[in-house]
Amino acid sequence: MSAFPPAILALADGTVFYGKGIGAVGATTGEVVFNTSMSGYQEILTDPSYCRQIVTLTYPHIGNTGINAEDGEAGKVHAAGLVIRDLPLVASNWRCEQSLDAYLKSENIVAIAGIDTRKLTRILREKGAQSGCIVTAATAAELNVEAALAQARAFPGLAGMDLAKVVSATESYPWTEGEWQLDKGYVEQSAPRFHVVAYDFGVKRNILRMLAERGCRLTVVPAQTSAAEVLALNPDGVFLSNGPGDPEPCDYAITAIQEILAKRIPTFGICLGHQLLALASGAKTLKMKFGHHGANHPVKDLDSGQVLITSQNHGFAVDTANLPSNLRATHVSLFDGSLQGLARTDVPAFCFQGHPEASPGPHDVAYLFDRFIALMEAKG
């Protein structure tokens, strides 16, 4: 215990947890959420959708397999902080290049271990996602609980916060890298059949890989790219990526999507992209109590009746009340009945709230990528 500095996690409701600091020394604030995944902590930390969020991992032992250079979903950690129960003393895996603690230090991420994450999760389930502050210091005497509580309460929350343009790439770039293979690593794809323009609202790399694997040449464009610029690229299809924050302030994206849909270009949205497509179609979104964050969420496909286990990461959802007539519900959550999928009835466009690319998680809904390919094939 003495090898790690003292740390606290202060919640806006006044609850304070005492533990040990891992990663960088300092302070961080954000919306505290919990994720039930048992593995994939590197992918979770680097998922841009976690921007301005402090992630609590409910599985107790985090860090067993260390960190490697290949599994990040972005070029840096986007989570505001990390909360875990136990940091193993040894990281052991044939692909391990760095311990979790060393990785967090190198990324300047403040994190805390050694707290009762079950108690914290119960608080978040009962009261909803809360603003919080993690502070680590050289000595316990330097920890200022009142200052940490004040910082937690000063965090405004994610409602009304446009973070897509914060995490998005600033310039367009091509993508041809396919899925990881045991003997070859990530394989460059050749002879693509389709040109897909992918909006980067905080895109995960594995989404791009799964599209490339299915024969797509990708041009990734910044979040604020206009429809005219996209149409000038003559795409066979348009992809709307995942991302952080509230979808409603992203008026630039909503307008662009409306103009793209008017041209009847096949369009597929995931996560934030799902919400933006819904808003562009006349629906509304809402802030959830504590959201969906995990790799074992059951979702029902309303067309086939099949139950799918999915990876989820979202704190906002499309409001099911008064869906416009041009939208049809295709998937619902079996945890809380929230809307998980939509299809336009008048243009070739559909979207899914969860993460069919998983990373981490199951691939039960990977067929949605094939559905997107089929739409582009049908267009000719």
CA dist 44 → 27, 36, 93, 96 (Å): 20, 11, 18, 17
Could you tell me if 217 and 83 lie in one domain? Answer: no
What does the pLDDT average to over 260-288?
A: 99
297 catalytic residue (yes or no)? no
Could you tell me if 309 and 204 lie in one domain? Answer: yes
Could you tell me if 174 and 281 lie in one domain? Answer: yes
What does the pLDDT average to over 65-91?
A: 96
Q: How far apart are CA 330 and CA 328, in angstroms?
A: 6
Q: Prior bond to 360 cis, omega within 30?
A: yes
| Three-state secondary structure call for residue 105 | helix
355 catalytic residue (yes or no)? yes
Domain that holds residue 106: 6-154
Could you tell me if 173 and 150 lie in one domain? Answer: no
pLDDT at 188: 85
pTM across the whole model: 0.96
Q: How far apart are CA 250 and CA 266, in angstroms?
A: 21
- Count Cβ atoms below 10 Å from residue 171 Cβ, excluding itself: 7
What does the pLDDT average to over 346-372?
A: 96
In terms of DSSP H, where are the helices of the chain? 41-46, 100-106, 117-127, 145-154, 164-167, 205-213, 227-232, 251-262, 272-280, 367-379
Strands (E) located in 24-117: 27-35, 53-57, 81-83, 110-113
96 catalytic residue (yes or no)? no
**Domain-terminating residue out of 154, 174, 198:** 154
Tell whether the model's pLDDT for residue 2 goes beyond 70.
no
Asked whether the beta carbons of 82 and 47 are under 8 A apart, the reply is no
Per-residue pLDDT band for 185 (boundaries 50, 70, 90) equals confident
Does residue 1 lie within any of the structural domains? Answer: no
Residue with tokens 């004040």: 150
Q: Which residues are registered as beta bridge partners of 61?
A: 86
**Angle at alpha carbon of residue 233, lines to 373 and 354, rounded to 5°:** 40
Per the structure block, which two tokens stand in for 22?
A: 């891992």
Asked whether the beta carbons of 281 and 255 are under 8 A apart, the reply is no
Which H/E stretch holds residue 188? Answer: strand 185-188
Could you tell me if 101 and 174 lie in one domain? Answer: no
DSSP string for residues in 254-295: HHHHHHHHHTT--EEEETHHHHHHHHHTT--EEEEEEEEEEE
DSSP 8-state assignment for residue 338: -
Share of the chain above pLDDT 70, in %: 99
pLDDT at 1: 41
Could you tell me if 81 and 45 lie in one domain? Answer: yes
Does residue 193 lie within any of the structural domains? Answer: yes
Share of the chain above pLDDT 90, in %: 93
Does residue 19 lie within any of the structural domains? Answer: yes
Nearest to 281 by CA among 305, 264, 257, 247: 257
Could you tell me if 193 and 134 lie in one domain? Answer: no
- Count Cβ atoms below 10 Å from residue 197 Cβ, excluding itself: 24
**Domain-terminating residue out of 101, 136, 154:** 154
Does residue 285 lie within any of the structural domains? Answer: yes
Could you tell me if 108 and 17 lie in one domain? Answer: yes
Tell whether the model's pLDDT for residue 367 goes beyond 80.
yes
Does residue 195 lie within any of the structural domains? Answer: yes
CATH number at residue 14: 3.50.30.20
Does residue 175 lie within any of the structural domains? Answer: yes
What does the pLDDT average to over 35-39?
A: 96
Question: Across all residues in the chain, what is the average pLDDT?
Answer: 97
Q: Which residues are registered as beta bridge partners of 46?
A: none
Q: How far apart are CA 239 and CA 220, in angstroms?
A: 9
Q: Which candidate in 43, 271, 274, 314 is catalytic?
A: 271
| Model confidence pLDDT, tens digit, residues 294-338 | 999 999 999 999 999 999 999 999 999 989 999 999 999 999 999
Could you tell me if 126 and 272 lie in one domain? Answer: no
| Model confidence pLDDT, tens digit, residues 106-160 | 999 999 999 999 999 999 999 999 999 999 999 999 999 999 999 999 999 999 9
CATH number at residue 356: 3.40.50.880
Q: Which candidate in 31, 43, 248, 357 is catalytic?
A: 357
Could you tell me if 142 and 199 lie in one domain? Answer: no
Residue 112 dihedral angles phi and psi, to the nearest 5°: -135, 140
Does residue 148 lie within any of the structural domains? Answer: yes
pLDDT at 179: 86
Q: Which residues are registered as beta bridge partners of 188?
A: 177
Angle between helices 367-379 and 205-213 (to 10 degrees): 50
Could you tell me if 121 and 206 lie in one domain? Answer: no
Does residue 159 lie within any of the structural domains? Answer: no
| Model confidence pLDDT, tens digit, residues 225-236 | 999 999 999 999
| Domain count for the chain | 2
| Three-state secondary structure call for residue 51 | strand
| Model confidence pLDDT, tens digit, residues 147-158 | 999 999 999 999
Q: Which candidate in 274, 292, 331, 355 is catalytic?
A: 355
Q: How far apart are CA 163 and CA 216, in angstroms?
A: 27
Q: How far apart are CA 121 and CA 56, in angstroms?
A: 8
